[in-house]
Structure 1
Amino acid sequence: MRRSVAVAASLGTLAAVIIAVFTWKGAPVTSETFLVTTYIGLFLGALWAMYATGLVVVYTTTGVFNFAQGAIGVFAAFFYWELHVNRGWHSILALFVVVGLFAPALGVVLDIVIMRRLRTASLVVQLMVTVAIMVLLLSVVGDIWEADTARRVPYLFGINNGIDLGPSQLPWHRLIVFVVAIAIAVAMRYLLRRTRIGTAMRAVVDNRELAALNGARPNVVSSTSWALGSMLGALGGILIAPELGLDPATLNSVVIIAFAAAAFGALRNLPLAVIGAMLIGLLRAHTVAWLDFGSDFRFAHLAVAPLLLLFVVIALPQARLEVGRLAHHLRRHERFTKWWEGLIGCGVIILLAVAFSGGWLNFGIWDPGAWDSRGLNSANEAMALALIGLSLVPLIGWAGQINFAPLAFAGFGAFVYLKVIGGGWVTFLGLDRLGLDPQDIRDIDNGYWILLVGLLCAPLGALVALPAARLRGLYLALMTMAFAQAMSLIFFPNPWVMPIIGTGRQFPHIELFGVTFDDRRGFFLLLMCVFAVVVYALVLLRRSRYGRRWMAINDSQAAAATLGVPVVWTKVVVYALSAVIAGIAGVFWATVSGNVDSVQGFDLLIGFNIVLLVAAAGVSIPVAGIFLIFIPLFTGLGHRLEDSGNVDFLVTLLDIMTTYGPGLLVLGMVFNPRGAIFEMGRGFSPILPWRSDARAEIAAENAQKREPEIGELGIERPFTPEEVIAIDRRLGILDEVVPKEGYGTSRS
């Protein structure tokens, strides 16, 4: 541990010195300017410390890392604006209602309805559900408070009232924020370490049943934890809103800084989390004050937090190999798709795409007709996203390596594609001296280079896998998120990377077999064919030796290593494969987008939505990527219904499904962690003539669910604890000590 910390600290210090030397503004450093910059940094750090404190409290006491912490702050800030500014309530009263009443009530509801059901869920399900809550809350904010109205939350006591510091003034608002942040951190530390309820909170997350036997009430304790976390998130959102304005995306992005601060404290140490937040605030303020990154790196100062998070995870010690987990029983119904079944399925996908897009189908009550240009644009966007989603199947679904950066790999693929088809690499590598003309490269149909682009993306995946191979679980998710954020702030905005940004030029259309796919329907069918080919390749790969290796390390890394599987090398390979698929998909995504926007096109929130929908579908199943057509497909259908008239209720329904559908689908993972496609396949497979095994399996399950007769038990069927309780109840001899839910449960 000490060695890794020393290495990370040395690398960070060296990088900071080099960056400072090459980007120094040359502005004079005086005691007054240094003091003002420092107090600004401490104020920013105090704001982020409140978010980080809430994250640490919830994670320490419930074991769930709340990605929705920032969204709770966003909702609270808008609600506070509604009460204080729009309705004229006094600021103290509005603050009490939002932070003291609404926020804890929201936390308790989240705990009762959702979080208690996640106690035994896998980490992937836990993370996806909290991300889904984040998306849903932001969607609710967007529907209630429309973005076309400018809003501003006033400072407490005004911006002009405060302490005179000579060259500037310290407003009372910022001083209050700093004092409140420190007081909250101290109070939470005392609560967790010195009080009975704090001890119960930490005990429940370690062993819920044992804590209950010693008098703790686990449900009350978990609700208290979520209430506290929501209150801290709400307070942070309200206090930071005067600085950033009421923009949901900007306010929610603050939580990424809080993630870095919480990771600095190993997700459990409150003092270190506060120190991490203050350090980020100071680095951010002094970076803006003294360094100039130029127009090529105009967002670099925003990358302090994700870069610090990357250095923090590098400092973590090597993760121990995981032993078998509860998830092993979920695979009892799983059956690998046969090669000919996959071939038939992919053929059906292509035929349906041809029929639907061409308007060949007539359902009697509704004739969809041929898709117009707007519908085809939505379909192309959907299929490009579906291709990106396929990159997560081997990585998350089989190997269990959480990845929130699919769009980072996709954007890198678009970058490589532009460089390859431009032919500039020929001169850069000196190959023109060997007679290779860059113009000859540009004359070749650019579609032929897409496979090469995928291969060139593999080294980036392998590079990310090197630190990722040391990590597991939540730290792995945070690392990939930090990587995606750093790429979107530093790499993609550079005009050398994406020179067409802001120039009005369009991303080049794909040319293949002498055909330029500038026709929308032709491009859609090309996308469908590529999607089908990748799905079929994954079907075959799943049955291969590598596919079984990846699933083995997902079930138990220790067992896989015992059997001779090289765990680290296997992770590197699966990351490289995921980068290959995402890089190829990125070319199509950039082509669909036309004029690539590095900020919007490769935004982290879009990446969250991709991971969410693939997880909701069933991330271990290759065809799961098809769920990413959800939003664009319903958007396009809504446009068509709107054009036809007299279907206002359907348009409204589709708008609701488009806005809230992804989040609600992911919440369904609380009850069905395997995903929707898995259950759909189980329901559909018995009607296939060759699936006698599925029919036998369903019959066996139905027989098991049938209430047994008394004579069967102990003779033809073994007793189970549930059946014993059912018999005792019918006979009226149930022992009152046994809870109604059955043996092995605890009262709270």
Structure 2
Amino acid sequence: MDYFGQLLANGLVLGAIYALTAVAFTLVYGVVRLVNFAFGELFMLGAFLTASLMLPEVRLIGVAVPMPGFSLPVAAAGAIALTALLGVLVDRIAYRPLRNAPRLAPLITSIAVSVVLQSLAQTIWGAEELRFPEFHLATLPPVVLFDSIYLSVMDLVVMATALAAMLGLSAFIARSSLGRAMRASAEDQMAATLVGIPVNRVVAAAFAIGSGFAALAGLLYAQTYGFAHSGMGFLPGLKALTAAVLGGIGSIPGAALGGLILGLVEALGAGYLPNGTAWKDAISFVLLVGLLYLRPQGLLGKPELNSAGRGSLLGGASDFGAVWLRAAFATFDGWLARAAAGGPRAALALLAFALLLGALVPSDYWLRILTMVVVYGMLASGLNVIVGFAGLLDLGFVAFWAVGSYLTSILFVLLLKDQFGVAPADIWWLLYLNLPLAGLVAAGFAVILGTPTLRLRGDYLAIMTLGFGEIVRVVAINWMDLTNGPMGIRGIPAPNLFGIALGSPRAQFFFALALAVLVVFAIARLVRSYVGRAWVAIREDEEAAEAMGVPTARYKLYAYAASGFVGGFVGVFYAHSQQYISPLNFSLFENILLLMLVVLGGLGTFVGPFVGALIWIVFLQLALDLPFVQAYPETRFALLGVVLVVLMVFRPQGLAASARVALTMSGARSKEAA
């Protein structure tokens, strides 16, 4: 009983921190329907700013800077105010221009802002942990409850602060004029505008309060664990989002309840399950997936929030930008449309150019870079099937990629080589069997994971698939006997053909190019079939597609299967080209990166994923020639994040959107499907 009580107390402390950040997510979501991934970085900035203001001196960008050395309450107040101001600034620059944009543009922008903030924090404070100064209350002896449960004074301060903050916010929303304006804006922004409510100011206030709550949670977390780090906001941010969804995103009491439940489940799971500490992250996401399946809107959420909204996931051109910028895009669109009209001839011309490039590039370094462009282009093409053509926002695609990579690695290395002593060179042909086999296994896995998501729409669908992806990553880390855990699998043989090693960068580039031709050809044939037309109908308006007689559940599963097949297929080549894989290769960041590549190039196009991959990977390499980037390499991610934000504001449909295939449903074929 004493052990249970101590775990319960620990869970309440952790749950209080999750609840504060969950309130930040749910407050902004309730007003503008935006899952702001940047709250994880605002969480981190709250910790860094508080620690910096408390210390007498801090190294910023490598230079020792004198600091005021405030006490914790004063430093915390300053950090919360600065973070709230930053939240308003981000809303004004990045989010406000996208109020009426297609649904995916604000989400991608929040991811880009997250990348920018994390990269800048690493540039300013460095990659090492910053020790959080000890507050004098932390030196007091712990409080003992029931003669067996120990809580530090700061643990009590954390819980009391979280409780006071959430009660204060609830009273503010319920009784103040600004709180009533927030509720009105959350119900109907157009109606709120018509009755004289300044909606933009209300949204800015929501961002300020939400950012302040994220900063408060971050500084309490850093004080509890004793450090601040540029990557510290990522996982707590995901947990807070999970808590918000558990409680019902958009409901402040639900966010508080979800945070407490999540904290308690993690603490009890870590304490009672075998190797529970290692599996506690998976426990959180299993809880998320289970609850979303049983009650999609969460414990206290509104059922109507489980909606994708009408209209395309990523629509037409933006009205923002100077006349010359719009004219330049119009010229580019005209050229691209003419090239796309060439059909097979244009595709063959692109292939000939790629072959010529692979033959003439003299540098092995750049050949490796181009190979990664092709690999990421193929992976993004697989994600494009489900996001760009079917309109289903999937944040778990990385799981299918992991299935293919691990399947071939386990067979070649852990099973045949290590267990049976078979030399990889003697079974070179197994690679070519593994390509379709891994695709089929990943496709089956995708259908299994996709089936529970059929009841979900929009952001809830994205969050559930995110949970699946994270579960697969945690399993890969902790199932040591199967995956070799965090150490990964080494010694994966390079591709081989009839005893001829294809290990040179040039050979691997041509191998990747041949696979890319197969992938794009298969996707193009599928998309131009009735199946692809059904996907596009679902993407544009699912309710209308159902009214036309399209069995949407079946075609969604087809999209999952096709996307999973591509992920598993490409994962095999990825493992053999890298010759080493680990769970770090298949993180949520990689999934987000692939989504960014699809959006950057253009959703629903065949060439867009490769355009996005080319811009992303080549930019990261060329940016290293800039003197400032050479001194601070992480700033290249910040620069690319800024480019992506600008693109979402001025060109949300993507660079190659004019190459999007126009597909329509045939009335006769629709009747057949019915």
Q: How far 1:504 sits from its partner (Å)?
A: 7.0
Counterpart Cα distance in 1 of 2:441 and 2:413? 15
Q: How far 1:133 sits from its partner (Å)?
A: 1.2
Q: How far 1:161 sits from its partner (Å)?
A: 1.5
Taking a change above 3 Å as real, the CA distance of residues 523 and 67 of structure 1, as seen in their structure-2 partners, is same
Counterpart Cα distance in 2 of 1:62 and 1:562? 29
Native 8 Å contact 2:109 2:644 kept in 1: no
Native 8 Å contact 2:438 2:569 kept in 1: yes
Native 8 Å contact 1:67 1:134 kept in 2: yes
SS of 1:347 mapped into structure 2: helix
Q: Which region of structure 1 is more displaced relative to structure 2, 560-569 or 344-353?
A: 344-353
Native 8 Å contact 2:434 2:572 kept in 1: no
What corresponds to 1:59 in structure 2? Answer: 29
Q: 1:219 aligns with which of 190, 200, 215?
A: 200
What corresponds to 2:382 in structure 1? Answer: 391
Taking a change above 3 Å as real, the CA distance of residues 37 and 155 of structure 1, as seen in their structure-2 partners, is farther
Taking a change above 3 Å as real, the CA distance of residues 503 and 483 of structure 1, as seen in their structure-2 partners, is closer
Q: 1:104 aligns with which of 77, 84, 87?
A: 84
Native 8 Å contact 1:384 1:592 kept in 2: no
Q: How does 1:119-518 map to 2 (within 5 A)?
A: 119-147=99-127, 149-165=128-144, 166-167=147-148, 169-244=150-225, 245-293=227-275, 299-316=278-295, 324-325=310-311, 330=316, 341-358=342-359, 360=360, 370-372=362-364, 374-419=365-410, 442=427, 444-499=429-484, 502=487, 505-518=490-503
Which runs of 5 or more residues in structure 1 are unaligned? 1-30, 361-368, 429-436, 642-646, 686-748
Taking a change above 3 Å as real, the CA distance of residues 502 and 472 of structure 1, as seen in their structure-2 partners, is same
Counterpart Cα distance in 2 of 1:203 and 1:413? 49
Native 8 Å contact 2:389 2:539 kept in 1: yes
Native 8 Å contact 2:404 2:568 kept in 1: yes
What corresponds to 1:556 in structure 2? Answer: 541
User: What is the TM-score of this pair, normalised by structure 2?
Assistant: 0.84
Taking a change above 3 Å as real, the CA distance of residues 69 and 503 of structure 1, as seen in their structure-2 partners, is closer
Q: Which region of structure 1 is more displaced relative to structure 2, 320-329 or 442-451?
A: 320-329
1:555 partner letter: E
Q: How far 1:98 sits from its partner (Å)?
A: 1.3
Residues 496-527 of structure 1: per-residue CA shift (max 9 Å, x gap):
33248637732222223543321122111211
Taking a change above 3 Å as real, the CA distance of residues 450 and 479 of structure 1, as seen in their structure-2 partners, is same
What corresponds to 1:613 in structure 2? Answer: 597
Q: How does 1:35-46 map to 2 (within 5 A)?
A: 35-46=5-16
Counterpart Cα distance in 1 of 2:209 and 2:255? 17
Which runs of 5 or more residues in structure 2 are unaligned? 59-66, 297-302, 318-329, 662-674
SS of 1:622 mapped into structure 2: coil
Native 8 Å contact 1:410 1:582 kept in 2: yes
Counterpart Cα distance in 2 of 1:528 and 1:456? 23
1:240 partner letter: Y
2:445 partner letter: L
Taking a change above 3 Å as real, the CA distance of residues 576 and 180 of structure 1, as seen in their structure-2 partners, is same
1:131 partner letter: I
Counterpart Cα distance in 1 of 2:117 and 2:309? 36
Counterpart Cα distance in 2 of 1:186 and 1:655? 40
Residues 98-118 of structure 1: per-residue CA shift (max 9 Å, x gap):
112x12211221222222222
Taking a change above 3 Å as real, the CA distance of residues 580 and 470 of structure 1, as seen in their structure-2 partners, is same
Taking a change above 3 Å as real, the CA distance of residues 309 and 323 of structure 1, as seen in their structure-2 partners, is closer
Q: Does 1:92 align with 2:77?
A: no
What corresponds to 1:707 in structure 2? Answer: none
SS of 2:130 mapped into structure 1: coil
SS of 1:41 mapped into structure 2: helix
Q: How far 1:543 sits from its partner (Å)?
A: 2.2
What corresponds to 1:573 in structure 2? Answer: 558
Q: How does 1:669-708 map to 2 (within 5 A)?
A: 669-678=648-657
Residues 242-288 of structure 1: per-residue CA shift (max 9 Å, x gap):
33432333332101111121112210222222122112111211222
Counterpart Cα distance in 2 of 1:328 and 1:615? 8
Q: How far 1:419 sits from its partner (Å)?
A: 4.7
Q: Does 1:73 align with 2:37?
A: no
Q: How does 1:527-676 map to 2 (within 5 A)?
A: 527-598=512-583, 600-626=584-610, 627-637=612-622, 648=627, 656-676=635-655
Residues 601-649 of structure 1: per-residue CA shift (max 9 Å, x gap):
111112212211221221211212212233432444466x5xxxxx747
Q: Which region of structure 1 is more displaced relative to structure 2, 322-331 or 222-231?
A: 322-331
Counterpart Cα distance in 1 of 2:338 and 2:464? 33
Q: Which region of structure 1 is more displaced relative to structure 2, 39-48 or 58-67?
A: 58-67
Native 8 Å contact 1:446 1:510 kept in 2: yes
Structure of greater Rg = 1
Counterpart Cα distance in 2 of 1:198 and 1:385? 45
SS of 2:395 mapped into structure 1: coil
Counterpart Cα distance in 1 of 2:39 and 2:560? 29
1:397 partner letter: G
Q: How far 1:406 sits from its partner (Å)?
A: 2.1
2:458 partner letter: G
Residues 398-419 of structure 1: per-residue CA shift (max 9 Å, x gap):
1110011222110011122235
Counterpart Cα distance in 2 of 1:33 and 1:656? 46
What corresponds to 1:13 in structure 2? Answer: none
Q: How far 1:121 sits from its partner (Å)?
A: 2.1
Taking a change above 3 Å as real, the CA distance of residues 140 and 601 of structure 1, as seen in their structure-2 partners, is same
Counterpart Cα distance in 1 of 2:576 and 2:194? 60
Q: How far 1:657 sits from its partner (Å)?
A: 4.4
What corresponds to 2:666 in structure 1? Answer: none
Residues 319-349 of structure 1: per-residue CA shift (max 9 Å, x gap):
8887853779749999999999443344344
Counterpart Cα distance in 2 of 1:439 and 1:634? 36
Native 8 Å contact 2:243 2:255 kept in 1: yes
Native 8 Å contact 1:41 1:286 kept in 2: yes
Counterpart Cα distance in 2 of 1:666 and 1:389? 19
Counterpart Cα distance in 2 of 1:494 and 1:423? 13
Task: Give the root-mean-square deviation of aligned CA atoms.
Answer: 3.3
Q: How far 1:468 sits from its partner (Å)?
A: 1.4
What corresponds to 1:717 in structure 2? Answer: none
Taking a change above 3 Å as real, the CA distance of residues 321 and 563 of structure 1, as seen in their structure-2 partners, is farther
SS of 1:620 mapped into structure 2: coil
Q: How far 1:583 sits from its partner (Å)?
A: 0.9
Native 8 Å contact 1:385 1:589 kept in 2: no
1:32 partner letter: D
What corresponds to 1:18 in structure 2? Answer: none
Q: How far 1:575 sits from its partner (Å)?
A: 0.5
Taking a change above 3 Å as real, the CA distance of residues 170 and 493 of structure 1, as seen in their structure-2 partners, is closer
Taking a change above 3 Å as real, the CA distance of residues 322 and 370 of structure 1, as seen in their structure-2 partners, is closer
Q: How far 1:41 sits from its partner (Å)?
A: 0.8
